[in-house]
Amino acid sequence: MKRNEKIEKLERLGIFNQWKYNTERANDTFNIECPDFSMTNEERVNNLLDVDCCFHRFLAISFPFNGTPEGVAFWENIAKK
């Protein structure tokens, strides 16, 4: 799935802003815990959008909050779409 297709699908599901916010939040935490591998939020978002995989796999690898209230809310929101 190409970058534009992912963005369109996220927007069609109404979750693009939530996905971007969560990705940036995760990146901020990652940068604190692993400063040697830090990226700007824009770099992290772009890298994730460039991953060549199916949409579900893209969501799974780009949303690291599994088992948290944020993760539950995110996946419930997708299930409602």
Mean pLDDT, residues 40-62: 88
pTM of the model: 0.74
Mean pLDDT of 3-13: 92
> Which residue range forms the structural domain that includes residue 16?
3-80
- What is the per-residue pLDDT for 64? 61
pLDDT in tens, 59-76: 877 776 666 777 777 777
For the chain, what is the domain count?
1
What value does the CA radius of gyration of the chain take, rounded to a whole number of Å?
Answer: 12
Residues 77 and 46: their CA atoms lie apart, in Å, by: 23
Computed over every residue of the chain, the mean pLDDT equals 84
